[in-house]
Every structure is written in C-alpha cells, then in structure tokens.
C-alpha cells in the first residue's frame, strides 16, 4: 500500500470515529469509502459499535456491506439518517462539491439530503479553488432525452461527452439511466447552474452538491486535515 493510499485509509478511519452505536449511517460509493466500510465492519465484529443500520447508495456498496456483515436498512424503516460518510470528486473552500464520478450521484444526494450530518473523505487532489476547475460535472439523464439534454448542456457552454464503459458500451446507472459528463470549466455561479439543471425534465440528477457537507476529512502525503462547515477553510493541498 503506497503512502497516499495509507493516508486515505487513515482519513476513512477518522471519518468512522463520528459513528456511534445506535446510529443509522448512509454509505457512499467509491474506493476510499471502502476503507470506511471495512472499519465499521471491524468495529461491529469487536462490539465496539452496536445496533448500527446502514443505507447504501449503490448496488456496489450494498453488496460490499452484505459481504462484510454490516446490517442494511431502507427509508421504509428509517426516514432520517444520523450520519452519511461519502467521497467527492472536487470540493471548494465553502465545501460545495462535484460528485458522480462513480455514477451513484442520485442515491448519494438522496442520502445526504436525509442526513443530519455528512462527513466527506477526499485526498488533497480533490481540493479546488472553484468547482469545475478540475472535474467535469456528471449529469444523469433518462435515455429518451439524451440528445436534447446534450444540446441543452452545450447551450450553457459545456463540452459534453456520454460516459462509456471500458467495453465501449454506454455506462448505465443503478436506475438504468445514462450519464453526460459536462465540462464547464470553473463555474462562476453555482446556484444559477443548479437552478437551470433542476428545471430540465429529462435530467434526473446532477453532480452539484451545494451546502451538504458538514465535515471534510482530507488525506495528504503529509497528514490529515479536517475542514468544517461554517469555518474559514484553507484548502491548500497537503
């Protein structure tokens, strides 16, 4: 395990420290989050955590939680989530995020909106002075509307590509939708773009997550940094 991977693991373990017995926990999707899930499973086996229920953001995370023995539940039984642990593709000084690189943006946003607290795990490369500087914006679209929504995104100034699997087939989300990756460059007005995307009937969800993160645990080669909502955060890369 290289140094940065070890730091990601340490950041994930730090995030799990927020989990207490009796909580309902939202589970994100992605490689770094795997460390958090493994840590939770270990603490459950050791009885250092008890009576935990988890809601997964993807079939992938659901399968992993089952394999590790982390009990799963649904919104039918628990309407509110105490804490969600997730990742992000890009994050700005106000802790706004671009998410969706793993394709689970719809369920991840549902989990975060239902959560009392959201803890995000990232490595230092995900920190950005302005969203869109380093990452494209994932936009989940129903197949029927793919051409018209691609045209719409281009009209907003984005360069757009359909997400493709390694075998050359179009990527499909858990909801069997498609993803358009829209590169805007640095986004000057996040709220305006959010409103425009929210108004489009063919767009199921998009990767702008504004004002949702409570805490961000950043892993860098030199250590761990904890960023907090409502605090002036230095996002210099570790």
Taking the C-alpha atoms of residue 169 and residue 151, their distance in angstroms, rounded to an integer, is: 21
CA-wise closest residue to 126 among 6, 28, 217 = 217
Contact 92, 128 (CB under 8 A): yes
Residue 173, beta-bridge partner list: none
Q: Could you please report the per-residue DSSP string of 6-66? A: HHHHHHHHHHHTT--TT-EEEE--SHHHHHHHHHHHHHHHTTSS-S-EEEESSHHHHHHHH
Residue 201: is it exposed, middle or buried by C-beta count within 10 angstroms (0-12/13-18/19+)?
exposed
Taking the C-alpha atoms of residue 153 and residue 196, their distance in angstroms, rounded to an integer, is: 10
Taking the C-alpha atoms of residue 207 and residue 137, their distance in angstroms, rounded to an integer, is: 6
Taking the C-alpha atoms of residue 229 and residue 173, their distance in angstroms, rounded to an integer, is: 30
3-state secondary structure labels for all residues of 177-218: CEEEEEECCCCCCHHHHHHHHHCCCCEEEECEECCCCCEEEE
Is 108 known to be catalytic? Answer: yes
The single residue of 108, 140, 149, 205 carrying the catalytic annotation is 108
CA-wise closest residue to 163 among 139, 175, 181 = 181
**Residues classed as catalytic:** 108
């Amino acid at each position: 395990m290289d140094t940065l991977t070890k730091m990601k693991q340490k950041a994930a373990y730090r995030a799990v420290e927020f989990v207490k017995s009796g909580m309902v926990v939202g589970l994100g999707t992605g490689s770094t989050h795997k460390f958090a899930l493994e840590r939770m499973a270990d603490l459950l086996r050791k009885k250092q955590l008890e009576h935990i229920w988890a809601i997964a953001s993807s079939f992938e995370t659901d399968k992993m939680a089952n394999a590790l023995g982390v009990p799963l539940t649904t919104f039918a039984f628990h309407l509110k989530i105490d804490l969600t642990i997730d990742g992000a593709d890009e994050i700005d000084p106000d802790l706004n995020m671009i998410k969706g690189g793993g394709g689970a943006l719809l369920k991840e946003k549902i989990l975060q909106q239902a959560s009392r607290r959201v803890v995000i795990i990232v490595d230092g490369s995900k920190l950005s002075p302005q969203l869109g500087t380093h990452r494209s914006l994932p936009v989940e679209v129903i197949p029927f509307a793919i051409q018209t929504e691609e045209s719409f995104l281009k009209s907003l100034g984005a360069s757009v590509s359909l997400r493709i699997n390694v075998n050359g087939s179009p990527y499909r989300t858990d909801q069997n939708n498609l993803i358009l990756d829209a590169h805007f460059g640095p986004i000057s007005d996040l709220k305006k773009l959010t409103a425009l995307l929210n108004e489009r009937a063919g767009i199921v969800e998009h990767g702008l997550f504004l004002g949702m993160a409570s805490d961000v645990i950043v892993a860098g080669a030199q250590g761990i940094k904890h960023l907090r909502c409502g605090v002036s955060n230095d996002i210099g890369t570790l």
